[in-house]
Amino acid sequence: MTAVLLPANLIAIALLLRFGAREDRLGAALFAGALIVTPLVDHVVLGSWKAGAACVDALMLIGFWVLAERYDRWWLVMAAGFQLIAVITFVIPWFQPGAYFVWTGVTLRIGVWLLLSVTLLIGAWEAWAARRFAREATYAPSNIRRSRPSLAPPERG
């Protein structure tokens, strides 16, 4: 699964950096930072609780949440929601310390990673579409199609 998701994430990050505005680039940098830092702190474990990865995911949740509150991008809202699910899965070992439910959390986090990967690709499309719509939304007469009413405000005489 990692062999498919990691290249898809790198492509989505590159597309967000290419087509995105400031908020898209900040979200891409946040996700890329989590991809880099997580393997470095993955060995920090308290019992059966992966404290290092949980802290990175919690920080990524806070980052996506702040970006979603501050900027008007749907993909940031979706990413914050999926990241909330990922953070919640880290509390599973608190309820049942055995190894049985630990794998449930891991499986759920892999599913959330898949959803975040799709969300990043949606974010790249949203950034591209926002840029295109902003470019086409001018009041110049050359941009108005004949089949549509004028976008220019009515003149007052």
93-132 per-position pLDDT tens digit: 777 766 666 677 788 888 999 999 999 999 999 999 988 8
Does the pTM of the predicted model rise above 0.75? yes
> What does the buried/exposed string (b/e) look like for 86-105 if buried means 16 or more CB atoms within 10 Å of the residue's CB?
bbebbebbeeeeeeebbeeb
**How many Å separate Cα 25 from the centre of its chain?**
11
Give the three-class secondary structure for 142: helix
